[in-house]
Chains A and B, each alone.
Chain A
Amino acid sequence: MSGSGERGGLARGLRLWFAPERIREEGRTPDYRFSLANERTFLAWLRTALALVGGGFAVDQFLPELRWGVRVALALALLGAGALCALRAVNHWVRAERAMRRGEDLPVSRFPVLLGLLVGAVAAAMVLVVLLGRLR
């Protein structure tokens, strides 16, 4: 079981999506304060996702002088990152909840780094695009 690795974890996580009550069968119920903290972390990630979706709308609405292709590419990058961030937030919530029930270490993730890099890249691209548009 322990050797099933990342893929086994993903499959188990997916099964949980469709049988949510099964998360309560594993391990022991942690202190309710830990679960609430996990819920707040999830909500903070969800707000990040909403901010990214809002950013996608904003690019489309407030930079109308951009060429269609550039504008849509930037908007799609932000919207895609938002959707991904929301899905990953649920997955991370499930993993943390399960780890707490089993008394294991909390899961680590490289998602924050990836998201940070993506947001930095989109911001840099936006600065460039707006500056070039002004200079023209």
Chain B
Amino acid sequence: MTESRDPGLQPERTRLAWRRTTLSCTVVAVLAARQGLHDGRSPAGLLGGALSLLVWLAFLGLAHRRARELDTPRPRAAGLRYPASAALCVVALAAFAVAVVV
């Protein structure tokens, strides 16, 4: 196991890239929740905030699964599933943000 370790730590770096992205997603989700609570009088705001938190949970799960896959010396390339779902999460966050802002 240890002798086949990648000297460039590529899997490790990719895992950390997923963690950083999760962190960015968390910041956006917190902003969305803050917005939803702030103008809690509008049902659109509350709904947008709640859905944003769900998307954040989905992203957490996604990133966690990929991070587990990357925990081998020679991980497989990501299938399209991971990039597509991650991007979909971001688009969904933007869409809920539009619902909250307008």
A29 to B, closest residue via Cβ? B77
Q: Mark A84-101, 1 if CB is under 8 A from B, else 0.
A: 001101100110010000
Whether, in the assembled complex, B44 has its beta carbon less than 8 Å from a beta carbon of chain A, the answer is no
Total chain A interface residues with beta-carbon distance under 8 A: 45
Total chain B interface residues with beta-carbon distance under 8 A: 43
Interface residues of B in 66-91 (CB under 8 A from A): 70, 74-84, 86-87, 90-91
- In the complex the two chains form, what is the Cα distance from A54 to B97 in whole Å? 9
Shortest beta-carbon distance from A59 to chain B in Å: 8
Q: Are B21 and A58 in contact (CB under 8 A)?
A: no
Chain A contact residues: over half helix, strand or loop, or mixed? helix
Q: Are B80 and A23 in contact (CB under 8 A)?
A: yes
Query: Given the complex, which residues of A lie within 8 Å of B42, measured CB to CB?
Result: none
Interface residues of A in 39-59 (CB under 8 A from B): 39-40, 42-44, 46-47, 49-51, 53-54, 56-58
Q: A33-B8, A53-B97, A79-B97 are in contact. Are A17 and B76 (CB under 8 A)?
A: no
Q: Are A57 and B28 in contact (CB under 8 A)?
A: yes
Q: A20-B79, A33-B6, A47-B20 are in contact. Are A87 and B91 (CB under 8 A)?
A: yes
Q: Are A36 and B95 in contact (CB under 8 A)?
A: no
- In the complex the two chains form, what is the Cα distance from A53 to B35 in whole Å? 13
Report which of A33, A60, A89 forms a contact with B10, defined as CB distance below 8 A: A33
Shortest beta-carbon distance from A45 to chain B in Å: 9
Q: Are B78 and A39 in contact (CB under 8 A)?
A: yes
Q: Are A72 and B101 in contact (CB under 8 A)?
A: yes
Query: Given the complex, which residues of B lie within 8 Å of A79, measured CB to CB?
Result: 94, 97-98, 101
Closest 4 CB pairs of A and B: A35-B77, A20-B80, A86-B90, A57-B31
